């Protein structure tokens, strides 16, 4: 029995832009599985110190193995990521198994004004996944990575998350997949 060509929706943008919320809205509409940033980071922090070379090596290997297995099995994924300059190889490594399986990869850049991100970062739901929850830390990250304005190369969309709901964003992404595939 042939495995269906898998689809990868790669959502990226700064912290608090709504990546996981939109991923969940996509998965509520179609049978996508979600690989969000903290799905791979949180278990590794239980064993290794955050940010060390060993930590990032294990997180990267975990992500790559999980994504490759999903692609091999024909599983559609939404992958969330905080992309910054220098992460280009990581992005290529995540997309590669889907390309090799004959699948589709769509990059979706999510963005919102800084003041919106600084307001959202305080939301209680962020604590559930040990995400950044204070404005001062987010400001430092936004300054350090120039508001995470880098754009991934490849087929994709750009969505302003401050002007449409997560459900509207999910519909837009799924419509794009249906009309461009």
pLDDT, mean of residues 142-148: 78
Radius of gyration of the chain (CA): 16
Q: How confident is the model at residue 107 (pLDDT cuts 50, 70, 90)?
A: very high
Alpha-carbon distance of 181 to 177, in angstroms, equals: 6
Lowest mean pLDDT, pick from 27-36, 129-138, 169-178: 129-138
Query: How would you list the strands of the sheet with 156-160, edge to edge?
Result: 33-35, 77-81, 7-12, 104-111, 156-160
Stronger pLDDT, 160 or 145, i.e. the higher one: 160
Q: How far apart are CA 79 and CA 77, in angstroms?
A: 6
Lowest mean per-residue pLDDT among 83-97, 142-156, 157-171: 142-156
Domains and CATH numbers, the chain: 7-179 (3.40.50.300)
pLDDT tens digits along 115-129: 999 888 877 676 666
pLDDT bin (cut points 50, 70, 90) of residue 152 is confident
pLDDT band at 43 (very low <50, low <70, confident <90, very high): very high
**Residues constituting the chain:** 181
Q: What's the burial of 46, exposed, middle or buried (CB within 10 Å: 0-12/13-18/19+)?
A: exposed
Contact 24, 123 (CB under 8 A): no
Whose CA is closest to 114, among 16, 9, 4? 16
Percentage of the residues of the chain whose pLDDT score is greater than 70? 94
Residue 69's contacts (CB-CB under 8 Å, 6 or more residues apart) are: none
pTM for the whole thing?
0.90
């Amino acid at each position: 029995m042939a495995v269906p060509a898998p689809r990868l929706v790669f959502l990226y943008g700064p912290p608090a832009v709504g990546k996981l919320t939109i991923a969940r809205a996509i998965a509520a509409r179609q049978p996508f599985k979600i690989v969000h940033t903290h799905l791979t980071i949180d278990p590794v922090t239980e064993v290794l110190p955050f940010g060390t070379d060993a930590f990032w090596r294990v997180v990267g290997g975990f992500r790559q193995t999980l994504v490759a297995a999903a692609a091999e099995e024909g599983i559609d994924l939404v992958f969330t990521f905080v992309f910054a300059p220098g992460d280009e190889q990581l992005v290529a490594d995540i997309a590669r198994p889907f390309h090799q399986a004959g699948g589709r990869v769509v990059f979706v850049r999510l963005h919102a004004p800084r003041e919106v991100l600084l307001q959202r970062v305080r939301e209680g739901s962020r604590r559930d996944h040990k995400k950044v929850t204070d404005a001062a830390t987010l400001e430092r990250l936004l300054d350090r990575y120039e508001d995470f304005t880098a754009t991934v190369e490849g087929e994709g969309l750009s969505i302003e998350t401050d002007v449409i709901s997560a459900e509207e964003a999910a519909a837009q992404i799924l419509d794009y997949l249906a009309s461009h595939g």
